[in-house]
Amino acid sequence: MALLQAEGVTVSVDNRPLLTDVCLDVDVGELVCVIGPNGAGKSTLLRALCGESAMETGRVHFKGESLASLPARKRARQLAVLPQSNPLSFAFTGLELVALSRTPHSTGTERDRIICLEAMAALDVCHLSGRLYPTLSGGEQQRLQLARVMAQIWRAEDGGDRLLLLDEPATSLDIAHQYEMMRAVRDFARSGVAVVMTVHDLAHASGYSDRILALKHGRSMAYGCPETVLTAENMQQLYGYSVTVVPHPVTGKSLVVADV
């Protein structure tokens, strides 16, 4: 049984369907990327998976149980979510911000500090530990926020099986930090975490995901390994733009190139 199972997820707002009959399953160690044009329902899906958006129909199970039925503290030890927007004006230092994630745990100040620094090292933000959050660039803030949610579920012994939901975490990052972030998230998944993340860059989805879910108009258009989802025909249908898909010259993975 997959760690996360979503079946028939349907979400509507003011009688307008945002998601219709979407299914998804993710196992421990897997990184699943969700792609699609603006307004396809990617963020709505993540909110439905974590219980933030009420479903009209469908169900979401975590380890065979309803996520909604888990006590809040236990859920916070096993599920971490990074939304697109993370407004914060309070003058926390970088380390203080990341340390907020350890509130659900009772692991002690010193152990929590070590965990926070390990998560910060994975995102190359240890040098920001003493900097005030409001003074940082958008990219620096984004990397600290990602370190925060990773630190929340950093070790399996703190809560068992773990699930990480990320909504466009590459926003505001330069190209070097985008790929550094993708490697960190993939490595985190391999450590025993199920990860679902929305992305716009198809190179990220191709190069790092185990499976890809393509959404269009709130419906699942394709779901499977990158090679079967990232085809020229699928991308034309998904985005309405002509592309060519070729093997990456180094990795051999699917590389989507716009036809100009």
The per-residue pLDDT for range 108-157, each reduced to its tens digit, is: 999 999 999 999 999 999 999 999 999 999 999 999 999 999 999 998 87
Q: From CA 78, how far away is CA 164, in angstroms rounded?
A: 8
The CATH number of residue 78's host domain is 3.40.50.300
Q: From CA 179, how far away is CA 185, in angstroms rounded?
A: 10
- Give me the count of residues in the chain: 260
The per-residue pLDDT for range 177-220, each reduced to its tens digit, is: 999 999 999 999 999 999 999 999 999 999 999 999 999 999 99
Parallel/antiparallel/unpaired status of strands 4-13 and 57-62? antiparallel
Give me the domain span that covers residue 252.
4-258
Predicted pLDDT of residue 145: 96
Q: From CA 183, how far away is CA 17, in angstroms rounded?
A: 35
Comparing 37-46, 116-125, 194-203, 250-259, which segment has the lowest mean pLDDT?
Answer: 250-259
Predicted pLDDT of residue 231: 97
pTM of the model: 0.95
How many structural domains compose the chain?
A: 1
**b/e burial code for range 71-105 (CB count within 10 A of at least 16 → b):** eeeebbbbbbbbbeeeeeeeebebbebbbebbebb
Residue 233 has pLDDT above 80, yes or no: yes
At 222, is the pLDDT very low, low, confident or very high (cuts 50, 70, 90)?
A: very high
Residue 70 has pLDDT above 70, yes or no: yes
Q: Which residue has the higher pLDDT, 61 or 171?
A: 61
Q: What average pLDDT does the structure give for the chain?
A: 94
